[in-house]
Amino acid sequence: MRAFVPLRHSILPLCAIGLAAGSPPAAAQDSRLDQLERNLAQEFQRKFVGYSVAIARHGRVKRTLVSGLARREADGRKLWGKRTRGNVASVSKSITAIAVLQALDANGLTIEAPIAPYLPDGWTRGRGFRDGQSVTFRQLLTHTSGMGQRFDRLKANGNEGPWGNDWDGLRFAVEKGVAAQFLGPDKYDTGNRSYKNSNYALFRIIVPKLWRLAQGTDGTGVTKSNHGALFALYVGERIMVPSGVEGASCTEPPAGGHAYAYDWTDPTGAGSAFNGTLQNCGAHAGWRLSASHLARIAGRADCNSANNWPDNRQLLSPGACFARTVRRLGWDDDSNGTSDRTRNRYWHGGTLFSRKERPRRTLQSCMVVLPDGFTVGAIANSDSRDGQSVCSKILDAGEFL
């Protein structure tokens, strides 16, 4: 099995490219779909405890591959099904980026706007989070805010304190601020990138305020107790429902039957549920979705697919779509694009694993945009037997497109 080597080209606007080149005949599309399905089956077959992989075109699911167990006997044996859900971990960030771009559009703002005006009024603000001296939305979306480096510095000094992704942890992070270098003219430099969950966790607080402002209120009333529910409500109304996703949540209902995480070398051991909370729902991690859900959402937000939906079902405006693809907002930093739309590929993966329990129990997921309107979502509930990530397998399978 070959390792996937990311393509590295300069990114040009996908929306401007559109579908001018025309679509291949239906038979050719069927052939490509069949080949993608065969390749994915080969990549995933007998590599995990269980998995689900969905293929969509322009946001409509065409094929779903399922295999293995979502739960082993120790947890009440359940087979993977087309609708089986799992915690998609950091793939949630790609969904959050859509929500942020929508909220900015609704308020006439761009990704270059400062975040300071949209933070809670009662928080003590360190450098980088004050009016007139603020990191931008683009910095949070691209992990170039300096928050990751600040945490590393505090940790090295034994002073990382209560830093976390809940309300109190984010409040502490804002109080500590960032170094001056992240506010200067080179703030978006690739050397400033440090992947840190708190960049996206802050949107769980900011997006509800933007939502209220867009509704004509003063934006107040976003609190520690309600911000998670407000964020989940916004995403549910503006992203999940238009994408045909019902009952989206960060917690599993009592009879949910969601997938647990396992170690494939330990066939008798119990799994890990990785259940989340409503208060910390969804911004940086935690949505419980199926592979089909991921493929649909990716397709609805893909620039090459946008024209296939009526205005009231499109997730992003042309300008927001341009920003998302060109700046890789909510996508892995190795995502790539070229002037040839047949080579554009964008993805975001997610991995949850047991830090204290041994052997290691893992839940993997990935959302991928491939050329010509194809999107793939996948969830697997163990590490791969061949060591490859779920995202790498999808990208290898779709390399022919």
- Tell me the pLDDT of the chain (401 aa) as tens digits: 333 333 333 333 333 323 334 456 666 667 999 999 999 999 999 999 999 999 999 999 999 999 999 999 999 999 999 999 999 999 999 999 999 999 999 999 999 999 999 999 999 999 999 999 999 999 999 999 999 999 999 999 999 999 999 999 999 999 999 999 999 999 999 999 999 999 999 999 999 999 999 999 999 999 999 999 999 999 999 999 999 999 999 999 888 899 999 998 888 889 999 988 888 899 999 999 999 999 999 999 887 776 677 766 789 998 898 899 889 999 999 998 665 555 689 999 999 998 776 678 999 999 999 998 999 999 999 999 999 999 999 999 999 99
Q: Could you tell me if 261 and 352 are in contact, meaning their C-beta atoms sit under 8 angstroms apart?
A: yes
Q: Are 265 and 373 found together in one domain?
A: yes
Do 47 and 166 reside in the same domain of the chain? Answer: no
Q: Please count the structural domains in the chain.
A: 2
Q: Is 50 helix (H, G, I), strand (E, B) or coil?
A: strand
Q: Are residues 299 and 364 located together in one domain of the fold?
A: yes
Please check whether residue 274 is in contact with residue 251, taking contact to mean a CB–CB distance below 8 angstroms: no
* C-beta separation of 26 from 268 below 8 A: no
> What CATH number is associated with residue 353?
3.40.710.10
Cα separation, 234 vs 367, in Å, equals 21
Give the DSSP letter string of 350-391: EEEE-SSSSS--EEEEEEEE-GGGEEEEEEESS--TTS--HH
Helix H segments across 11-143? 14-17, 26-44, 92-106, 137-141
Give the predicted TM-score (pTM) of the model.
0.91
Contact (CB, 8 A) for 144 and 188: yes
In a domain, 11, yes or no: no
| Displacement of CA 322 from its chain's centroid (Å) | 18
Q: Is position 210 within any domain?
A: no
Q: How far is residue 361 from each of residues 18, 78, 90, 142, 147, measured CA to CA in Å? A: 42, 17, 17, 29, 29
Of 295, 291, 292, the closest CA to residue 375 belongs to: 295
CB atoms within 10 A of CB 48: 25
82, part of any domain: yes
- Domain membership of residue 380 (yes or no) is yes
Coil, strand or helix at 243 = helix
Q: Which domain holds residue 139?
A: 116-201
- Is residue 379 domain-shared with residue 293, that is, in the same domain? yes
